[in-house]
Structures are given as C-alpha cells and as structure tokens.
Amino acid sequence: LAKTTQPISMDSYEGQEVNITCSHNNIATNDYITWYQQFPSQGPRFIIQGYKTKVTNEVASLFIPADRKSSTLSLPRVSLSDTAVYYCLVGDIPGTYKYIFGTGTRLKVLA
Amino acid sequence: DTAVSQTPKYLVTQMGNDKSIKCEQNLGHDTMYWYKQDSKKFLKIMFSYNNKELIINETVPNRFSPKSPDKAHLNLHINSLELGDSAVYFCASSPLGSNSPLHFGNGTRLTVT
C-alpha cells in the first residue's frame, strides 16, 4: 500500500489559489489518487479522484504528473469556508477495502 | 436525504458500560466501514464489511464487535468501555471495487468518564 506524505498545515488568504501536494512514491499501477475534505465535527467528504494528468470538477482540480509519484490538489479562490483538513489517499490493499488515511493537511484560510 | 447516518451523534457513558452505535446507508453500497478518529485527529480503520461479511478487523480489541444484519447496516457494539475508547467513530460506505470513494457519516462522539 502506497504511503502518502503531505504538509501538516498551510495558511492562505481568501481569494487565493491553494495548492496542496501529496507524495506517494510507491504508488501501484492500479492505484487511483483520491482527496477528501473534513470540516470540524463532520466526516470526511470526497472531493476528487484521478489516475493521471488532470481532473477538474466544480470544487477542485487534481494534477498528476506522468510518473504519478505525487499529486497536487488545487483549490481556486479559497474562501473562509474552505478551512478544513485535506487528506490524500492512494488505492487500497487489493481485495481488503483497507483505505488508510494519513495525517492530512490542515488548511486555514484567513480573511 | 442523508446517505450515511449514524446514531447517536453524542454518547457519554461511564467506564465498564456497554454501548452500541448504529449506522445505516441508503446508497446501495456493498461495503461498509468503521473508522476511529482520536484526539489527535488520526483516522484509523477498524473494520470493513463487504455484503455482510467481515473483511478487515484491524487489531481492534475484541470488546468491539461489529454486526451487519444486512448490507445497508453496520452497527458497532462496545463492551466494558474504557477511557481510551473516547473518540469520534465514523461509519462509511463505498461501492464494490478498489479505489471506490468512501462516503462517511457525521460521526458519533463517544466520551467515556
């Protein structure tokens, strides 16, 4: 199972673009990269998932280089309500449905 | 419509008691999970069930016993509660297959005094 490494915390200001990078050097061929967002007192919420290149949805973009050893979650024009913990997950142990969360990145958006 | 719902939201109890947390999902998913989030905010998987069958028991004390009466429900029963069991417990579900996104409930905050 590929281990992920993310920055522990980041600060940003409202209106800025925020990029959170996740390292996953041992990613397996079949692994997808999935990002979750967790607000205080809530469960994690799926944001975006990708396999390679770029994926965009109404919430975020996910950039994955050709070697797939890292990925970057991009949040455009953040607002105070984007203050949350962001987790990067890579695949699972095949057949076990064992998804392991890392420490996540605590994003604080300042006014 | 709540996709993954847990009850109760808060649970305060004394050491030694037995308590249960219920979880239901209306997404039609085959796989359900229990995660524990401690005071340091680490999310650790406890159990996963696929179509009512236990897939993962992640070195959880046998005081914790999950029960899945059908694939839409996964309840967690805890015997002889200890102070260290205080945490937020999250239920989640996902479709069958690797890399399937998880859908979480809003958690049950358990406080053992």
- Residue B23 has phi, psi (to 5 degrees) of -140, 135
Between CA B9 and CA A38 the distance in angstroms is: 17
Per-residue model confidence as pLDDT tens digits over A51-97: 998 999 999 999 999 999 999 999 999 999 999 999 999 877 666 66
Is the Cβ pair B31, A97 closer than 8 Å? yes
Would you place residue B1 in the very low, low, confident or very high pLDDT band (cuts 50, 70, 90)? Answer: low
Interface contact B30, partner A, CB < 8 A: no
Would you place residue B96 in the very low, low, confident or very high pLDDT band (cuts 50, 70, 90)? Answer: confident
Of A36, A42, A91, the CB nearest to B106: A42
Between CA A80 and CA A12 the distance in angstroms is: 9
Chain A residues in contact with B98 by the CB 8 A cut-off are: 30, 91-92, 94-95, 97
Between CA B113 and CA A97 the distance in angstroms is: 33
Residue B82 has pLDDT above 90, yes or no: yes
Of A31, A85, A99, the CB nearest to B102: A99
Q: Which helix (H) or strand (E) holds A64?
A: strand A61-64
Of A43, A94, A99, the CB nearest to B45: A99
Phi-psi region of A103 (alpha: psi -120 to 50; beta: other; left: phi over 0): alpha
Residue A1 has pLDDT above 60, yes or no: no
Per-residue model confidence as pLDDT tens digits over B13-52: 999 999 999 999 999 999 999 999 988 888 888 988 888 7
Per-residue model confidence as pLDDT tens digits over A86-99: 999 987 766 666 77
Residue A10 has pLDDT above 70, yes or no: yes
